[in-house]
Amino acid sequence: MSKKPAKVLADELKPFVAPFRFDGTGQFHLKSHKTDEKGGLDKDKAAKILEANRERLNDFQERLYAQDRWSLLVIFQGMDAAGKDSAIKSIFDGVNPQGCAVTSFKQPTSHELDHDFLWRSTIALPERGHIGIFNRSYYEECLVTRVHPDILAKEKIPPKLITKNIWRERFEDISALERYLARNGTVILKFFLNVSKAEQRERFLERLEQPAKNWKFSMGDITERALWRRYQAVYQDIVRHTSTSLAPWYVVPADHKWFARVVIGSTIVAALDKLDLHFPKVDKAERSEFKQIREALLKEGKGGEKKSTQK
């Protein structure tokens, strides 16, 4: 990991973090956020930053795991082909899988539908010392269910509770959950990968034209693409109503995957850097005991060498 002082590291990463952060203060309009931002970088410079962030993340994760106090929840949301899967693969490359888990949320099962809308997410939350990555999340229950009301009908909620206020109530429930988690030591980072409709089209064509990527394409993707404006409006509403200082949203320009990864990686590293993560310290009594054990092991080694020489 970079040995730069915390302030120096923060200043270095700030241009790739601060412009994309929204914590609920002020106005938010999704259209005002560019999808093709490059941050003044080219691919070569971006590759160096990405590699440096991987090294930093690997070091931070070891300390996070050893300290066993904080946990990190990273949420990825975005339209189909926004780059969620590839971002997770690239940014967390090299991270010890023992302390990191990815959960992908797809269509709810019948068992999941027998619980409240937050249940399947809460049982997948990271424990202390761990990083939890949600590929889609409980936000789908304010997104897809809002665009497709028939899905909401399958959630077995008593009809009288499904009112015109249900989305505001779900925003309140989610914000309450995130506030609770933050107060108990879970750092929450939420990334909306903001891809343009034109770029999505190119990525769909790539999936159709390359046999190795055919499996990624679904006819349902085209159905959802036809509802683009509706999805954008709902995403705007989600970011507006669930951004807080404890759980801000990062609206990531996603037309250039390499720049999106710079933003995401820099944000994660900057957040972990603020936690003052360190390996647990050994007290004086334990150090004295360790010294005795070390001396005994050294003597044991010397005895073994003599025996092998006599043979």
> What pLDDT, on a 0 to 100 scale, did the predictor assign at position 297?
86
pLDDT at 305: 54
* Strand 249-253 with 21-22, pairing: antiparallel
Q: Residue 3 has what pLDDT?
A: 59
Q: Could you tell me the strand order of the sheet in which 100-104 lies?
A: 21-22, 249-253, 186-194, 71-78, 131-135, 100-104
C-alpha to C-alpha distance for 310 and 60, rounded to whole angstroms: 48
Class for domain 6-280, per CATH? alpha beta
Q: Are 132 and 76 in contact (CB under 8 A)?
A: no
Query: 181 with 240: CB under 8 angstroms?
Result: no
* 284, amino acid identity: K
Please state, in angstroms and rounded to a whole number, the distance separating the CA atoms of residues 278 and 15. 26
Q: Over the stretch 250-295, which tens digit does the pLDDT of each residue have?
A: 999 999 999 999 999 999 999 999 999 999 987 777 777 888 888 8
From the list 76, 41, 37, the residue with the least C-alpha distance to 268 is 76
Tokens of 39: 């941050």
pLDDT for the residue 1 = 47
Domain layout of the chain by residue ranges: 6-280, 283-311
Per-residue pLDDT reduced to its tens digit, 98-129: 999 999 999 999 999 999 999 999 999 999 99
Residues of the chain below pLDDT 50: 1-2, 311
Which DSSP state fits 246? S
Residue 247 is encoded by which pair of tokens? Answer: 């759980």
